[in-house]
Structure 1
């Protein structure tokens, strides 16, 4: 797993953690188990950089739980995290989006194999442009 790609997703996780923390502070959700959920989220943030493969399933589980426990912020979950963790997280993505992320990942793997730099965000913008160049 490339370090830049992992760091990109760690930054997205940290941002999501901030959103979840603010949700609890705003008292928009019942406190029961929210603190425990945030503790598990913090564990993921601490352990994922050290052991990415071993913590992948925990990430899938936590991201999926965000959709079920906190539907009011589900739209704020970065789509990149759904792709990064895969598994059950892919149920929250339409097939067309999955196909685009697959193509994006293939570009990333090709660049890494060739020893070329790969800017995930720039490539994603190019991949996700409307087909006819029109924007809404």
Structure 2
């Protein structure tokens, strides 16, 4: 397993989770079948493309994540925030400034840890930063 594979494990897991939500939405027949089936095909292409070409898949990721907000507003609150940050670009329009600032601090902490060859646990650090922002003791 390469470092690239490891770095993509988490966003790919989030994409799989979101795919399950999208599938359930279609199974519940709450949306137009043909259009939804085509969207799911493109979504599956994103997952494959992300594994093969992570940099070039960013634009497709931005497009599809933004389309979820437009096409399926009833599940917008279920879109993992980490995916918005991961794909960035137009996805950031769906994040308030405070949340963007939190993710910027999280990235800074990650870069610092990498520069010092220290381990970095995204989830743990994110929780710690959230607690700091809320004034909760760690």
Q: TM-score range by the shorter chain?
A: over 0.9
* Map of 2:108 onto structure 1: 106
Q: TM-score, normalised by structure 2?
A: 0.91
Alignment gaps of 5+ in structure 2? none
Could you list the runs of 4 or more consecutive aligned residues of structure 1 that deviate by over 3 angstroms after TM superposition? Answer: 1-5
Q: Within the alignment, does 1:4 sit opposite 2:1 as a pair?
A: no
Give the match's secondary structure for 2:33.
coil
1:5-32, CA deviations, whole angstroms, 9 ceiling, x for partnerless residues?
Answer: 3211110011001100111011011213
1:58 maps to which residue? 60
1:133 aligned to 2:128? Answer: no
1:26 alignment counterpart: 28
Give the number of aligned pairs: 134
Give the TM-score of the pair, scaled to structure 1: 0.93
Of Structure 1 and Structure 2, which has the larger fraction of its residues in helix?
Answer: 2
Gaps of 5+ in 1: none
Q: Is 1:78 aligned to residue 80 of structure 2?
A: yes
More deviation, 33-42/113-122? 113-122
CA distance in 2, matches of 1:67, 1:5: 25
Equivalent residue for 2:126? 124
- Identify which of 12, 15, 37 aligns with 1:13: 15
